[in-house]
Amino acid sequence: MASSSVSNNTTTLLFDHDGTLINSERVHFTLWQEIVASYGAELTDEFYCKAMAGIPVKQNAKDVVEHFSLDETPERLAKKKHEKIEAYLSQQAFPLMPHAAETIKACADKGYTIGIVTGGSTLSVEKTLANYGLAQYISCVAAVEDVTYSKPAPDCYQLAMEKLGVSAAQCVAIEDTHTGMQSAVSAEIPCVVIPTTQSATHDFSKATSRYESLPLWLEQEITGR
């Protein structure tokens, strides 16, 4: 995966949110751990990284019920998770990933249109943009509430392109998980992946390029152009 994702045709950069711009996976893991523990089971870091990281809450809930054979509906489990996240966000925004704000500003300075495409909630994105002063740089948000089928389906990326009036050839997606990458690739958008500790073992063979950090990607594909 040595080839560049960004080309001379690229006008639009579509960033994932959780794990790419915000350091939220550890919080999500802790909250899911609390929920699972309330049913007398133990959610391990290994299972979370393998089966849950980067995947929308609705699917997480189904997988948790099945894996732990819980006497509960996925809908009620997902509701509990949403309530815990809302309680968390009522107190604070998720912390940013290292260099996330600088990356967004640098991309804007280079003239790219920037969108956020997330399997998470609009509330979470709004909290990030307001708390860190990034709203002025973001032209579009496509979140889990905006589509019938979230990642890994392509719908959220297709919606973002529709909102911005651009084609897949004009876009590059920046993701951190296999689920997110699959969503972008299914929308025929070139995808750069920047794995986290939780997603380091994911299959990224369909990605156009891979970097170990936002600054490395920024230097190689944006500011160095």
Q: Is residue 42 within a helix (H) or strand (E), and if so which, with residue range? A: none
Residue with the bigger pLDDT between 4 and 185: it is: 185
Over the stretch 167-180, which tens digit does the pLDDT of each residue have? Answer: 999 999 999 999 99
Domain-terminating residue out of 91, 115, 143: 91
In a domain, 155, yes or no: yes
Q: Are residues 123 and 213 in the same domain?
A: yes
For residue 56, the model assigns a pLDDT of: 86
In a domain, 7, yes or no: no
For position 18, which CATH number holds? 3.40.50.1000
For residue 71, the model assigns a pLDDT of: 94
Between CA 114 and CA 105 the distance in angstroms is: 10
- The token duo for 57 is 């809450």
Q: Are residues 68 and 113 in the same domain?
A: no
For residue 122, report the phi and psi dihedrals to the nearest 5 degrees: -60, -40
Domain-terminating residue out of 44, 59, 91: 91
For residue 198, the model assigns a pLDDT of: 85
In a domain, 4, yes or no: no
In a domain, 175, yes or no: yes
Total domains in the fold of the chain: 2
In a domain, 211, yes or no: yes
Q: Are residues 120 and 158 in the same domain?
A: yes
For residue 116, the model assigns a pLDDT of: 98
Q: Are 17 and 118 in contact (CB under 8 A)?
A: yes
> Does residue 222 surpass a pLDDT of 70?
yes
Over the stretch 100-148, which tens digit does the pLDDT of each residue have? Answer: 999 999 999 999 999 999 999 999 999 999 999 999 999 999 999 999 9
For position 51, which CATH number holds? 1.10.150.240
Over the stretch 61-75, which tens digit does the pLDDT of each residue have? Answer: 999 999 999 999 999
**Residue 209 lies in domain:** 12-23+95-223
Q: Among 225, 206, 205, 223, which Cα is nearest to 214's? A: 223
Taking residues 149-169, report their average pLDDT.
97
In a domain, 5, yes or no: no
